[in-house]
Amino acid sequence: MNGHVKSMHFQQFMEPAATLLSLLLVMAVDSTRTVSASRNPGCNSLQQTLKLTRLVEKESVDLIKTYKVSQGEMSELFCKVSVNDVPDSNISGLEPSEWIVSIFTHLQAFFPHFKRVYEQQTDLQSPTSPLLAELTTVSTRSRSLAAFISSFYQGLFPNLPVPEPAGGPTTLPPPKNVFQQKVYGCVVLKTYKEFLSNVSQKLRTLKPKVCRRRMQINTLFFF
Amino acid sequence: LLFGLLLRLCVICYHLVISPDSPQSPVLEIGTDFAATCMITNTDEVTADDLYWTLSGTVVPKEQYTRINKTALSVTVPITSEKREWLLCRCKNVSAYVVLNKGRFMHGIFLTKGYRPGKPENLSCIAVQEERYISPNITCVWEAAGRQTGFVPTTYTLNVRSNIVHSPIVSVGLFPNHETLDIWVEAHNTLGKVESEHLKEEANWFVKTNPPSDVRVISERTFPTSLLINWAHPIDEVYVKLTYEIRFCPSGSQNWTYVPLVDTAKGIQSFRLQNLQPDTVYVTQVRCKNAIERGYWSNWSTNATERTPEDRPRSKPDLWKIITEDESTARQVWFICKDPVLSNGRIIRFDIKIQDHKDRVKNRSGELESIPVNRSKADPSPSQQKITILKQISLDDKKSVEVYVTAVNSVGKSPEASLVITEKVNELPTVKDLKVQRNGGQLCLEWKPPARPVSEYVVEWVSGSRIDWQREKGSTKNTVIKGSLEKFVSYTVSVYPLYSGVTGKPASKEAFLEEGVPLIGPAVKLKGKPGCNEAELVWNEIPQHSRRGFITNYTIFYTSGTKTHNITVPANTTSYTLKSLSRSTKYDTWVIASTIRGSKRGFNHSFTTLKYGTGEIEGIVVGVCLSFLFVVLLTMLLCIYKKDVIKDNFWPRIPNPGESTIGNWSPDYPLKTETPKENCLSGISVLDVDVCDGKCGSEDDKASLPLKKDKYLSEEHSSGIGGSSCMSSPRQSVSDSDEGGDMADTTASTVQYSSVVASSNGYKGQTPNFQPQQAIFSRSESTQPLLDSEENPDMLLQEGSRQSQHFSRQPSFTHTAGNEDSADPADFNQLEMEQQVLEPLDFCPLEEETTPTDGQSADGLPAALVSSYMPQLGGYRPQ
């Protein structure tokens, strides 16, 4: 929205001089084509983060499918039960700096749960089960995503302090029976998938702001 | 501590030390200079002037030495070779101490050489897709630059660093999608290290995915020139966002058409190919790569094949004709055609309409005839190459027709093709100077166009029953035959000018795409029978399909076993007459047919020349006969003209006894003086017999054979009677008596003392008819009693007859007697002996002339002769 407003502002400002700059316009069209968004480090980092977020989200969806298949009967029921002590899928904070830190913190909070689910499923699944492999993959990707978020945040807000992993111990649920373990695992994965979906949405909202600078220049020359 | 102590002691014990001392085996870079210093320690026996350096046993020149002080001498050696070697500092034998402690005055270091590592070049890395993900194994390749020795190896280290994770290498077992990777190679050895250029790209830059999966091509009937392609991403877009490239070509062709990349948007999974040919099978392939500018294209997908829907034919069928001409009948015209080039579907029938060319202006409507064709879709060969025989007509030489043909498929019909066959006498002019040449495995044609404008040309080539043609524009003056031609096959290439659909007169040439050696040789045989010195050979032309090229000539070989002759004759010759052959000789002959590529020998044929030519034998026979006839005639002429001489020689004139005076003799007038003569005549006649022996003879003589002996007997008797005893021989008499019959015995017994010589007058009973020559009878005046014959006329007649024959034909008689009566050679000899005996008797009559006949008595005869006659035993009747 801000970008759009800026665009209109520049349009009004540059309208009287449009005729005079017509020659430059033609030349600029060609030059601006080569100025891609990738040349913008923040935009590039955001896009990479977005891509990785979608990737992890997709893999988490696949993981849930695999999880349901591997848990046997009543797998759908497992995922409908609510469980406490699982990180919230919602992202807190209004400003980008705030919710980016929130994303980073949430990601860090999910790692112990992934580990717990992996341990529990290790007892329930065969070592060659694709569920374990996918759990490992999602967990690893999530760590990379956290690094991406951190890097993006540092690039976007270089003067703000670097987000740190949660200092305190993550609260994990106490040992439970197999049913409760299955329910717990499914809730963790489901919540994580929802969280990633929220992350994607949040990051997409940031994309126009981060990657609009060059676009604004282009708009400047077009109007 | 112990090691240090030992080292120190050891150092102490040596008087020479090289610096740099550590390491003892320095690694030196080839191409540099190495400096070392030798120092004298713990002795005053020697100075730096007494030192010298050796490198690999060779004393280093003093120019490379640098005297630092009294106890130190340095040397600088260039490092050039790669081999390791010892650099020794040694001392001259300046004193006995040095000599005795030589080991203490020597120190060395071992030089190891190598090169600095070269900067790795052309680094590239790739990560391929494995199942649903990109493999975490990144494979990198680079080119090692520079040289290295075995003693100083270079080690390469591949470094991969993520810009996010900042880990030196990806070790989590996942490909770092969307991360920016920094990849480089570090080469290092003892002499140093160097890094390659860094590949700092997004991880997907190194990705090579699988080709698009499940590529399907969809044909839509309403779009005959379009095909829709669908495929699936080989990998989820969250990993790699892909761009695609599509290519297609008609089935069987390898000329791919590529869809521009700008038309294939990122992430698409379908594309519509347009402007395709209807009813054509197209092969389509798709590949992909990541959507960023650089990256690796995947392999092409497997072929997706689909046929475009049919459309109505958009071009004319290729109408042509075959005309066979026979003088006796009208022209036979076959109308043939190929499917339209743009048939746009399977042709199901041809519609043909034939009308008189003169009626064309008046009325174009003619009877339309449909000719269905059955083309199999499974047939892979293009339908445009198929030739369909539409119709055959008989066309008078003075008539012309115009033919209209359309091709029809399941969608519609094609434009109309037409062809005009004109009257034979009005055929339009042909092209000039047609040349057909081989060039690069093709037949190239060149011609000069006729004066009249030509709308197009038809180039036709025929081999046996196979015909094909192609069309060329009217402005064309040269072309190549585009059809598939076979090697070693003779083609009749013709160029027909077409004048607005009217066929002109063709120009034709024979041509081979490639010539070869004939498959078979000519079969030679003799024409007729061979002569004495010549033989005519004849051979058949090699069949067209076996020639495999233009026959340049035939070579005839013939040999009689010792020497082989050959004769080369032109290709249009199929017979030849061999001359100057030997008589009665067996010849082997064969013929070789040659092309420009080689020759082929035919089978041998053997023949034997005659000993005598035709008519020679007849000539010889006629010649001999004529010669014989000539000789006979000559002989006859000789006989005729020289008959007297011959007669005198062969039949000497014998005095006719009839003319003798004895003819006038009568018993009343004994002629004593005549008797000896008669006897002498008798003796002469015997000599004549010898002369004629074996030469004369006649039937008459044979007939008179029985008389011969009688004659002899008579002679003997007469000689005995006539006193001419010289003619008598006892042996002969014995012989005669042995051979003779009773008559002889009787005669011998009766004629002992007398011989009766009767004249014709004396014996009236004998007529000249029966005795053609007169018999001379003389009567002895002996007082001996007469023979019975004298008293008995019958006996006398018989006896007289014998004698008369004897006188008249004596030579023949003797001859015949010798051959027949004396079949026994002994007899013949006996005769000869008798003659020999008788020969001296020829002169007996002369003697007898001197001896009076009447004085003839037993006393007068030689005793032998006398004794030879046996006394008559009483078989005589009293006279």
> DSSP secondary structure string, A111-140?
HHHHHHHHHHHHHHS-TT-HHHHHHHHHHH
Nearest-CA distance from A181 to chain B in Å? 27
Greater model confidence, B215 or B837: B215
Give the C-alpha separation, B170 to B162, whole Å: 8
Q: Which residues on B lie below 8 Å from A203 (Cβ)?
A: none
User: Is it the case that residue B740 has pLDDT exceeding 50?
Assistant: no
User: Is it the case that residue B73 has pLDDT exceeding 70?
Assistant: yes
Q: Which of B311, B289, B309 is nearest to B217 (CA)?
A: B309
Q: What's the start-to-end Cα distance of chain A, in Å?
A: 18
Give the C-alpha separation, B684 to B691, whole Å: 11
CB A135 within 8 A of CB A118: yes
ipTM score of the complex?
0.79
Q: What is the pLDDT of residues B229-282, one digit of tens each?
A: 999 999 988 898 899 999 999 988 889 999 998 888 778 899 999 999 888 899
pLDDT given for residue B630 in this prediction: 93
Model confidence band, residue B188 (pLDDT cutoffs 50, 70, 90) = very high
Is-cis flag, bond preceding B785, omega within 30? no
User: Is it the case that residue B118 has pLDDT exceeding 60?
Assistant: yes
Q: Which of A42-46, B51-55, B429-433 has the lowest mean pLDDT?
A: A42-46
Q: Which residues on B lie below 8 Å from A58 (Cβ)?
A: 236, 238
What DSSP string describes B609-656? --SS-TTHHHHHHHHHHHHHHHHHHHHHHHHHHTHHHHHHHHS-----
The reply to whether residue A144 touches residue B176, judged by beta carbons under 8 angstroms, is yes
Question: For residue A211, how far is the Cα from the chain centroid?
Answer: 17
Nearest-by-Cβ selection for A51 from B172, B173, B178: B178
pLDDT given for residue B852 in this prediction: 40
The reply to whether residue B178 touches residue A147, judged by beta carbons under 8 angstroms, is no
Give the C-alpha separation, B551 to B662, whole Å: 108
Q: Which residues on B lie below 8 Å from A140 (Cβ)?
A: 172-174
Number of C-beta neighbours around residue B167 at 10 A: 13
User: Is it the case that residue B199 has pLDDT exceeding 70?
Assistant: yes
Greater model confidence, B679 or B469: B469
Q: Which residues on B lie below 8 Å from A48 (Cβ)?
A: 164, 178-180, 202
pLDDT given for residue B837 in this prediction: 42
pLDDT given for residue B534 in this prediction: 86
- In chain A, the residue whose alpha carbon lies closest to the alpha carbon of B136 is A137
Q: What is the pLDDT of residues B524-566, one digit of tens each?
A: 988 888 888 888 999 988 888 888 899 999 999 999 888 888 9
Substitution target from B135, B162, B233, B238 for chain A, most A beta carbons within 10 A: B238
Give the C-alpha separation, B789 to B768, whole Å: 20
Buried b (16+ CB within 10 A) or exposed e, B563-572: eeeeeeeeee
User: Is it the case that residue B752 has pLDDT exceeding 60?
Assistant: no
Q: Which residues pair with B53 in a beta bridge?
A: B89
Is B398 touching A (CB cutoff 8 A)? no
The reply to whether residue B165 touches residue A141, judged by beta carbons under 8 angstroms, is no
Percent of chain B residues past pLDDT 70, beyond the cut: 70
Q: Which residues on B lie below 8 Å from A54 (Cβ)?
A: 238
The reply to whether residue A55 touches residue B177, judged by beta carbons under 8 angstroms, is yes
- Mean pLDDT score, B723-751: 41
pLDDT given for residue B545 in this prediction: 84
Percent of chain B residues past pLDDT 90, beyond the cut: 28
Give the C-alpha separation, B230 to B301, whole Å: 12
- In chain B, the residue whose alpha carbon lies closest to the alpha carbon of A58 is B238
The pairs formed by B577-581 with CB atoms below 8 angstroms and a separation of 24 or more are B577/B534, B577/B535, B577/B536, B577/B537, B578/B534, B578/B535, B578/B536, B578/B537, B579/B533, B579/B534, B580/B533, B580/B534, B581/B530, B581/B531, B581/B532, B581/B533, B581/B534, B581/B535, B581/B609
- Highest mean pLDDT out of B64-68, B691-695, B799-803: B64-68
Is B176 touching A (CB cutoff 8 A)? yes
Q: What is the pLDDT of residues A141-197, one digit of tens each?
A: 898 899 889 988 988 888 888 777 665 566 677 767 888 888 888 889 999 999 999
Q: Which residues on A lie below 8 Å from B180 (Cβ)?
A: 48
Sheet with strand B432-439: strands edge to edge: B432-439, B442-448, B478-480
Percent of chain A residues past pLDDT 90, beyond the cut: 23
Query: What mean pLDDT value characterizes chain B?
Result: 76
Q: What is the pLDDT of residues B850-871, one digit of tens each?
A: 344 443 434 444 443 444 444 4
pLDDT given for residue B267 in this prediction: 81
CB B62 within 8 A of CB B54: no
Is B59 touching A (CB cutoff 8 A)? no
CA count, 13 A, side-chain hemisphere, B710: 20
The reply to whether residue B164 touches residue A148, judged by beta carbons under 8 angstroms, is yes
Q: What is the pLDDT of residues B135-167, one digit of tens each?
A: 888 889 999 888 888 888 899 999 888 877 655
Q: Which residues on B lie below 8 Å from A59 (Cβ)?
A: 238
Number of C-beta neighbours around residue B380 at 10 A: 9
Interacting residues of B325 by C-beta distance below 8 A, sequence separation 6+: B331, B332, B424
Is B526 exposed, middle or buried (CB count within 10 Å of its CB: 0-12, 13-18, 19+)? middle
The reply to whether residue A140 touches residue B173, judged by beta carbons under 8 angstroms, is yes
User: Is it the case that residue B26 has pLDDT exceeding 70?
Assistant: yes
The reply to whether residue A140 touches residue B238, judged by beta carbons under 8 angstroms, is no
Q: Which residues on A lie below 8 Å from B174 (Cβ)?
A: 137, 140-141
Look-up of token digits 């020559």: B773
CB B351 within 8 A of CB B340: no
The reply to whether residue B179 touches residue A48, judged by beta carbons under 8 angstroms, is yes
The reply to whether residue A144 touches residue B173, judged by beta carbons under 8 angstroms, is no
Nearest-by-Cβ selection for A58 from B163, B179, B236: B236
The reply to whether residue A144 touches residue B163, judged by beta carbons under 8 angstroms, is no
* Angle at the Cα of B274 from the Cα atoms of B268 and B276, rounded to 5 degrees: 135
Q: Which amino acid is residue B16, in one-letter code?
A: L
pLDDT given for residue B865 in this prediction: 40
pLDDT given for residue A18 in this prediction: 64
Look-up of token digits 């004698």: B803
- Mean pLDDT score, B86-112: 87
B413 secondary structure, DSSP code: B
Q: What is the pLDDT of residues A49-69, one digit of tens each?
A: 999 999 999 999 999 999 988
Helix (H) or strand (E) holding B735: helix B730-739
pLDDT given for residue B857 in this prediction: 39
- Mean pLDDT score, B209-232: 93
- Please report the sign of the dihedral spanned by the C-alpha atoms of residue B35, residue B36, residue B37, residue B38: negative
B723 secondary structure, DSSP code: S
Q: β-strands B227-232, B270-273: how paired?
A: antiparallel
Nearest-CA distance from A55 to chain B in Å? 5
Give the C-alpha separation, B221 to B304, whole Å: 18
SS3 B319: strand
User: Is it the case that residue A222 has pLDDT exceeding 80?
Assistant: no
pLDDT given for residue B22 in this prediction: 52
pLDDT given for residue B746 in this prediction: 42
Helix (H) or strand (E) holding B35: strand B33-40
pLDDT given for residue B363 in this prediction: 54
User: Is it the case that residue B296 has pLDDT exceeding 70?
Assistant: yes
Residue B385 tokens read as 């190459």
Nearest-by-Cβ selection for A55 from B163, B173, B178: B178
* Angle at the Cα of A84 from the Cα atoms of A83 and A85, rounded to 5 degrees: 125
Q: What is the pLDDT of residues B627-644, one digit of tens each?
A: 999 999 998 888 888 888
User: Is it the case that residue A20 has pLDDT exceeding 90?
Assistant: no
CB A120 within 8 A of CB A184: yes
User: Is it the case that residue B215 has pLDDT exceeding 90?
Assistant: yes
Residues 222-241 of B with CB under 8 A from A: 236, 238-239
Substitution target from A45, A48, A62 for chain B, most B beta carbons within 10 A: A48
pLDDT given for residue B810 in this prediction: 42
Q: Which residues on A lie below 8 Å from B164 (Cβ)?
A: 48, 144, 147-148, 151
- In chain B, the residue whose alpha carbon lies closest to the alpha carbon of A153 is B164
Q: Which residues on A lie below 8 Å from B238 (Cβ)?
A: 51, 54-55, 57-59
- Highest mean pLDDT out of A151-160, B279-288, B675-684: B279-288
The reply to whether residue A151 touches residue B164, judged by beta carbons under 8 angstroms, is yes
CB B182 within 8 A of CB B160: yes
CB A59 within 8 A of CB A136: no
Q: Which residues on A lie below 8 Å from B176 (Cβ)?
A: 144
Residue B448 tokens read as 């000069």
What phi and psi, each to the nearest 5 degrees, are found at residue B137? -80, 115
Nearest-by-Cβ selection for B164 from A54, A55, A144: A144
Give the C-alpha separation, A57 to A153, whole Å: 20
Q: What is the pLDDT of residues B421-462, one digit of tens each?
A: 888 877 888 899 999 998 888 899 999 999 888 999 999 999
pLDDT given for residue B362 in this prediction: 54
Nearest-by-Cβ selection for B178 from A52, A57, A140: A52
Model confidence band, residue A78 (pLDDT cutoffs 50, 70, 90) = confident
pLDDT given for residue B422 in this prediction: 85
User: Is it the case that residue B102 has pLDDT exceeding 90?
Assistant: no
Look-up of token digits 């109308």: B335
Q: Which of B485, B438, B434 is nearest to B457 (CA)?
A: B434
pLDDT given for residue B816 in this prediction: 38
CB B593 within 8 A of CB B517: no
Greater model confidence, B583 or B804: B583
Counting one residue from chain A and one from chain B, the pairs whose CB atoms sit within 8 A come to: 37
Nearest-CA distance from B293 to chain A in Å? 12
- In chain B, the residue whose alpha carbon lies closest to the alpha carbon of A49 is B178
Q: Which residues pair with B130 in a beta bridge?
A: B133
Residues of A with CB under 8 A from a CB of B: 48, 51-52, 54-55, 57-59, 136-137, 140-141, 144, 147-148, 151
Q: What is the pLDDT of residues B344-386, one digit of tens each?
A: 888 899 999 988 876 655 555 667 889 998 877 666 566 667 8
Is B173 touching A (CB cutoff 8 A)? yes
Look-up of token digits 């003589």: B701
